[in-house]
Amino acid sequence: PTPVAIFFGEPGEVVSDPFFDGEGPERAGCIHCGGCMVGCRHNAKNTLDKNYLYFAEKWGAEIRAEANVLDIRPLYGPQPDNARYEVVYEHITDWFMKRKQVVRTRNVVVAGGVLGTVDLLLKCRDESGSLPKLSRRLGLRVRSNSEALIGVTARETAQDFSEGVAITSHFWVDEVTSVEPVRFPPGSSFMRTLMLPLESLKGKTTLAHFGHALWEGLKRPFDLLTVRVLPKWPEKNTVLLVMQTLDNRMSLRRGRSLWTLGFKGLVTHRDPDQPIPTVIETGRAILNRFADKVNGVPWVGMNELMNKPNTAHVLGGCGIGGNETEGVVDVNQQVFNYPGLYVADASVIPVNLGVNPSLTITAMTERAMAHIPQKVDAPPLEPLQKPEGLELVQRKDGRFLQKALPFIFALLPLSLLFLFKTFKRK
C-alpha cells in the first residue's frame, strides 16, 4: 500500500474539513470509483484547489484562471509602485483577438510545470528578449523519470479492475526500478487509442515495427480488438507505470518540427551519451508476469513504434547551480541575474526520482518560499539595476503569422472545394 491524498470517510458523506483544523473546505468520503487520474467528481481527492489555492484565495490572493502568460518584463530603476516586473498574459477563452492584460508585481513565481516554465523562459530569453541574461543552461538536463507506460487488458470480465483508488500500491523491482499499478474509471478509454499489444512490437526499426504490428493484428485479431476496440476497457485494464532512478536525459529548445505542425514550439533532443530509454526490460518482465496472472493481453504505447520514450512526469530544465554557468536558479530557486524571479515546479528537480514527484515538488517549493521574508519582516526591496552593456531589444516573435496560420489551414479545404466545383461546372 502507498499513502494517497484522498479522504476515506463514509463513502459519499460530506463532512467539515478534516485536514486543516476545520479551516479548509468540506470533503466527502471516497466512493472508490477509480476516477482520481481523470479528476475526482466527488470531492474526495486532496487537489490544489482544496489546499494551497483554496487558502491563497481565502487569505486575499486573486486567482486569474484561463490565462496564458506571454512575457515577463523586468522594470529597471525606481518605480512609483515599487514594482520590479510586468507579467503580460492573454485570455485563452477569447476566440480571435485575445485580450491582453499586464500585471505589475514586485516578485514573480513561475510554476507552469516543466513544459510551461521552460517554454515561457525560453521565449523571454530568445524571442521577446525581455530576459536576455537567463542562463544558457535553460532547457538542458530535462528528464523523464526514466518511465514507461505499459499495461494489461484482461480477456475476460470476471473482475472489475476499475473499482478502487487510481493508485493504491507501489513496489521496487530492483534497486533502480519501481512499478505502480494504475486504474481508470468506466468510460475513460481514450488512452487505449495509443496502445498496441506487446507482441506487435518486434524488430529493430520503425518500419519493422509497423510491419510486425500489422502481421500480429492479422494473426491475433481478438487480442488487438481487446486492447483497442472491445467495450469495458477500464473494467478490464490495469496500467503499469514503470519508473527508474537511472541517470538519463534530454534537452528542450524552441524550434519547429513535424510534431509542432510547422509552428514554433518546444522540440526535444536526446542526449547522445545518456539517452532516455524507450523500452525498460525490467518493466516488460513484470508486465508479462501480470498478464499471465489475469489472463490478459500485455500492451505498450505506440510511441515504441517510433522508438520514442514517453512519461507522465517531466523533470528538470531549470537546474540549480552555484552560478549562471552551472544552473538557471540558485539553491533558493531564485533565477540568476533576476532578483525576485523564482521557479517553483518540477523543472528544478535535478535527478530521476523513480517515484511520483509531487511530494518532492511540494517540499522543494515550500523550502524556497520559506526563504522569502514575510511582509512584516521584509527589508525594503531594491529596484532592479539594468546590467551594464545590456541593450533591450524587443524582437518580433511572428505572432501575427502564428495567429493567421490556423485560419489559412481552415480555409484551405474550402478553397480547394470551391475550385473543384468551379472547374467541374466548366
Using CA atoms, how far apart are residues 349 and 356, in angstroms rounded to an integer? Answer: 12
Mean pLDDT is lowest, of 155-159, 254-258, 408-412, for 408-412
Together in a domain, 89 and 203: no
Task: Clarify whether residues 195 and 181 are in a common domain.
Answer: yes
Same domain, 191 and 123: no
By C-alpha distance, which of 336, 371, 335, 365 is closest to 349?
A: 365
Domain of 360, in residue numbers = 14-141+316-370
pLDDT of residue 388: 76
**83 and 168 inside one domain:** no
Q: Are residues 221 and 359 in the same domain?
A: no
pTM: 0.88
Give the pLDDT confidence score for residue 3 in this predicted structure.
Answer: 80
Mean pLDDT over residues 185-209, rounded? 83
Distance of CA 271 to the CA centre of its chain: 20
264 in the same domain as 288: yes
Q: How far apart are CA 326 and CA 417, in angstroms?
A: 56
Residue 361: pLDDT above 60? yes
* Residue where a domain stops, chosen among 274, 306, 338: 306
What is residue 397's predicted lDDT score, i.e. its pLDDT?
46
Given the residues 32, 212, 269, 313, the one annotated as active site: 313
Question: What residues contact residue 75 under an 8 Å CB cut-off, 6+ apart?
Answer: 83, 84, 85, 86, 104, 383, 384
Has 371 been annotated as catalytic? Answer: no
pLDDT band with cut points at 50, 70 and 90 for residue 423: low
Residue 179 and residue 152 in contact, taking contact as beta carbons nearer than 8 Å: no
Same domain, 228 and 288: yes
Task: Decide which of 306, 324, 347 is a domain's last residue.
Answer: 306
Between CA 91 and CA 98 the distance in angstroms is: 6
Render 184-226 in DSSP notation, one character per residue: --TT--GGGGGEEEGGG--SSSHHHHHHHHHHHHHH-HHHHHH
Kindly report the average pLDDT of the chain as a whole number: 90
Looking at the structure, tell me whether residues 54 and 179 fall in a common domain.
no
Is residue 68 situated within a structural domain? Answer: yes
- pLDDT at 405 (0 to 100): 53
Provide CB contacts within 8 A for 110, sequence distance 6+.
Answer: 72, 117, 120, 121, 341, 342, 343, 344, 345
Cell numbers found for residue 301: 504505447
pLDDT value at 420 more than 90? no
Residue 230 and residue 130 in one domain: no
Please give the average per-residue pLDDT across 205-218, as a whole number: 81
Report if residue 393 sits inside a domain: no
> Is residue 383 assigned to a domain?
no
Q: What would the pLDDT profile of 393-415 be if each residue is shown by its tens digit?
A: 444 444 554 555 555 555 566 66
Per the domain annotation, does 391 fall within a domain?
Answer: no
CB neighbours of residue 187 within 10 Å: 13
Same-domain pairing of 300 and 326:
no
Whether residue 64 is predicted with pLDDT greater than 80 in this model: the reply is yes
Least confident residue range of 41-45, 95-99, 318-322, 366-370: 95-99
Name which residue leads in pLDDT, 395 or 38.
38
Is residue 111 domain-shared with residue 251, that is, in the same domain?
A: no
Q: Are residues 133 and 202 in the same domain?
A: no
Q: What is the mean pLDDT of residues 153-182?
A: 94
Q: Mean of the pLDDT values across residues 175-191?
A: 95
pLDDT of residue 109: 98
- Give domain status of residue 381, yes or no: no
Q: What is the mean pLDDT of residues 34-50?
A: 94
Q: What is the amino acid identity at position 273?
A: D
The count of structural domains within the chain is 3
- Band of residue 214 on the pLDDT scale cut at 50, 70, 90: confident
Asked, for residue 345, whether it belongs to a domain, the answer is: yes
Q: Are 347 and 135 in contact (CB under 8 A)?
A: no
Q: Let me know: does 241 contact 144? Beta carbons within 8 Å.
A: no
Mean pLDDT over residues 354-375, rounded? 94
Q: What percent of the chain has pLDDT over 70?
A: 89
